[in-house]
Amino acid sequence: MRALPGRWVAAALVAWLWLAFAGCRRVPLPGPPAVRVVRILDGDTLEVLRDGRAERVRLWGIDCPERGQAFGSAARRFTGDLAFGQNVVLRSHGTDGYGRLLAEVILPDGRNLNQELVRAGLAWWYREYASEALELARLEQEARAARRGLWSDADPLPPWEFRRSRGARTGAPLMRDGR
């Protein structure tokens, strides 16, 4: 009985592929490099270690209460609890007028620190600088409705108004054009 040439070629190809890939293992594609959080300055500003140098990062799209303002310490503590000492991934959104990197901080478990602060009621969605961040808008509405964190106050004072009332230059994210 004579074997069909097509079957012989197919069997040879399968055997060759099996031999060629039998010893190969899957290697994950590299993602963005992680950086280590080495300092928490306040709820929305931290420092990371990148290439042996500290780099200041301002969390993009949010504004946490300032030191001396209601919930300012709680926001700083929350940020520290989630991020300090962790290897995180930064999603850059450029730099601010102070030279700080504006970024979303992705925690080791995949959560977005910026979103977690808003969800917990410890930050405002910073509409003026991140109008396209609709998830932050949704999370702020959710926190307001549940009266979480700063939304438990009858009339919480936004940090940009707090800074303006004190005449402070404490970290409002200025854009390149000085806004």
Catalytic residues, by residue number, are 58, 66, 100
143, 118 contact by CB (below 8 A) = yes
Q: CA dist 13 to 10, 19, 53, Å?
A: 5, 10, 53
E strand spans, the chain? 35-42, 45-50, 53-59, 62-63, 87-95, 101-106, 124-125
- Tokens coding 109: 């478990």
Whole-number Å distance between alpha carbons of 107 and 134: 20
Residue 113 phi, psi (nearest 5) = -60, -40
Q: Which amino acid appears at position 92 of this protein?
A: S
Residue type, 86: Q
